[in-house]
Structure 1
Amino acid sequence: MCSRHSPKKEADYSVALNCEKQDNQENTFAEFAQMEDFSQLSFRSLRLFVAVVDQGSFSEVARREAISPSSISRVIQQMEQALQTQLLYRNTRAVSPTESGLLLAHHARQVLEQLEQAMRGLQEQELEPSGLVRINAPVVFGQRHIAPWLHELCACYPKVHIELMQTDDFIDPLHDATDLLIRIGVMADSSLQSRTLGHQHFKLAASPAYLARAGVPASPKALAQHSCLVFKGFAGSQRWFFRQPDAGWEPYNLRGVLTSNNAETLTQAAIDGIGLVVFPTWLIGDALHDGRLISVLEEYQVSTSLEAQTISAVYPNGKKTSVKVRAVIDFLLEKFGNEEWGSHPNWP
């Protein structure tokens, strides 16, 4: 008497076979993952292997790739040696994948597709600036001269996301996750690249009320009898240097009545008539323009350093600057120029 399986038993048996097959595939993949020698599994070898599985022929793939069938066969053999398993059944008419070969081909297709997507993404970035650009700028400079241009920058490059961090602390772009640093002062670090946005120039200034009360200093020596407002940064209190044409810089003694590490505070104090300040034109240019401050000792040049100071866009010294960073630098150069600070039409 012939025995028959019930439909339920046949279904259970089918499920059991599928589960066993899935377990075998997972075990095979786990064996792949435990292999240590993947030196032969290059993207090219994976691409050739998938092509052989799809075409079922070494010769057809060799014709398309313009290489010999023996070269492709050698690549597959190296892969089998690296994985310590047979990937293809070979005969005189065709090749077909083993169970391990089918599993590898399945995952290799996913890897190759992800690689292709990544390459397309990189090509698109080369064509159009996109992605995050981290900018760091001094607090006051960022407020006065970076923030007002952000709306236009974002409109020009809608796929670029700007992260603007403002601090007066010293920032090292090589270690502080910054793509672009606006640095003001003397540039000396050769491990960084920089583009000059402008040259920093200083003015000695006071309010009309202060000058009416204390008088206009006739020379830098007279500052010893005036109330001076002195900026104090991480390098210490600011020094004031003066020189006339064709002469050297000379420091002069100050009578500091107010010292602060905040430039806005000292600027406001000068406007309120407390004393004289020495600040760059990018900071007090608007107050000079509208008459809240008046520049004095115009026959002298004034500075806080013996060396020339610049406003620069600084970035790490890599082999190739990304398209998105170059786009932001070019935008800033277009807006600010490389001219005398205060003479450019976009500056006070």
Structure 2
Amino acid sequence: MKTFNQINIQSLRLFVAVLDQGSFSEVARREAMSPSTVSRVISQLEQALQTQLLYRNTRAVSPTESGKLLADHARQVLAQLDLAALDLQEQDSEPGGLVRINAPVVFGQRHIAPWLHELSAHYPRLNIELMQTDDFIDPLQDSVDLLIRIGVMADSTMQARTLGQQNFRLAASPAYLARAGTPATPADLASHSCLVFKGFAGSQRWYFRESDQEWRSYSLRGVLTSNNAETLTQAAIDGMGLVVFPTWLIGDALREGRLVSVMKSYQVSTSPEPQTIAALYPNGRRTSIKVRAVIDFLVEKFGAPAYWEH
């Protein structure tokens, strides 16, 4: 069993530096040490591990197989230590600077914009740039720090933190239900006015299921189709028909009685796959303190389950 008692962080840093530079003398020059001191540290490391780590010649040094293996682990250890040191430095730091956020238009209006004054008051050194669009955004090309996105999460090039689940309701106004009757099953919707969202991919399909059964999709029509969710929501409130929308959008109308949830024994969605509301940010070794601060703030304000579900 090899002992590691004589290994310290400085010896690992010097060992990795020698591999990177390929020379004892160059590392010695950069570290303001003598070449013999650097060589002695590496020799002590080899003695502690009881194995040869480097091939030495007059022109350069190169790693043995054991040296390559140690280097791989040493780089990971040193990276983690550097990250820990940075986190400790930031622990008492106040987030500041420009943070660029991109959010869907309606969700941004409903659930991001109302919290901006409190976010700014909490982090006065933070400069917030909020862009709202439903278009595809490449965070690297468009220089975005944080994306708020809703739907089926499948982008492996991004890290994600879930802010909430997207839950849907089938709803209509009391006036519409009094006039047209209340549907009891999805098949009943064929005789109702269904207000359907139509985006770039075409008209949205509505999916229904009971308990743990399979989802079934329905393509429905009504007196109004639109690419604007607010327009369709207002049309439903005005009695023009039924809508399927997420609770974050129509939760207020349901609580206030302007809309009524129907067919409660069925689950309803616009996709057979689970949909989430998530904060996305580019993959990397760590997240900046300002991005972490914004995400943590939103997680706290939204709650679990999110406040619009209550």
Taking structure 2 as the reference length, the TM-score comes to: 0.70
| Amino acid paired to 1:303 | S
Q: How much does 1:294 deviate? A: 0.3
> Which residue of the partner structure matches residue 291 of structure 1?
257
2:147 counterpart SS class: strand
> Which residue of the partner structure matches residue 126 of structure 2?
160
The C-alpha deviation readout for 1:130-170, integer Å capped at 9, x for no partner, is 10000011111000000110011001111110000111112
Q: Which runs of 4+ in 1 moved over 6 A?
A: 123-126
Give the root-mean-square deviation of aligned CA atoms.
Answer: 2.6
Equivalents in 1 of 2:275, 2:236: separation in Å?
23
The C-alpha deviation readout for 1:275-306, integer Å capped at 9, x for no partner, is 00000000000000000000000000000001
Say which one has the larger Rg.
1
Of residues 192, 195, 199, the one that matches 1:233 is 199
Task: Give the gaps of 5 or more residues in structure 1.
Answer: 1-41, 49-64, 69-122
> Which residue of the partner structure matches residue 83 of structure 2?
none
User: Are residues 1:269 and 2:235 paired?
Assistant: yes
Q: How much does 1:347 deviate? A: 5.5
> Which residue of the partner structure matches residue 291 of structure 2?
325
Residues 336 and 347 in structure 1, CA contact (< 8 A), matched pair in contact too: no
> Which residue of the partner structure matches residue 78 of structure 1?
none
Equivalents in 2 of 1:287, 1:190: separation in Å?
36
1:256 counterpart SS class: coil
Q: How much does 1:233 deviate? A: 1.7
1:209 counterpart SS class: helix
| Amino acid paired to 1:278 | V
Equivalents in 1 of 2:32, 2:277: separation in Å?
56
| Amino acid paired to 1:216 | T
Equivalents in 2 of 1:290, 1:327: separation in Å?
33
The C-alpha deviation readout for 1:171-201, integer Å capped at 9, x for no partner, is 1213221110000000001110000000000
Report the number of matched residues.
234
Q: How much does 1:241 deviate? A: 0.4
Task: Give the gaps of 5 or more residues in structure 2.
Answer: 1-25, 35-88
Q: How much does 1:126 deviate? A: 8.0
| Amino acid paired to 2:147 | L
Equivalents in 2 of 1:200, 1:142: separation in Å?
15
| Amino acid paired to 1:298 | K
> Which residue of the partner structure matches residue 150 of structure 1?
116
Residues 96 and 126 in structure 2, CA contact (< 8 A), matched pair in contact too: yes
Taking structure 1 as the reference length, the TM-score comes to: 0.63
Residues 223 and 255 in structure 1, CA contact (< 8 A), matched pair in contact too: no
| Amino acid paired to 2:143 | A
Matched residues, percent identical? 75
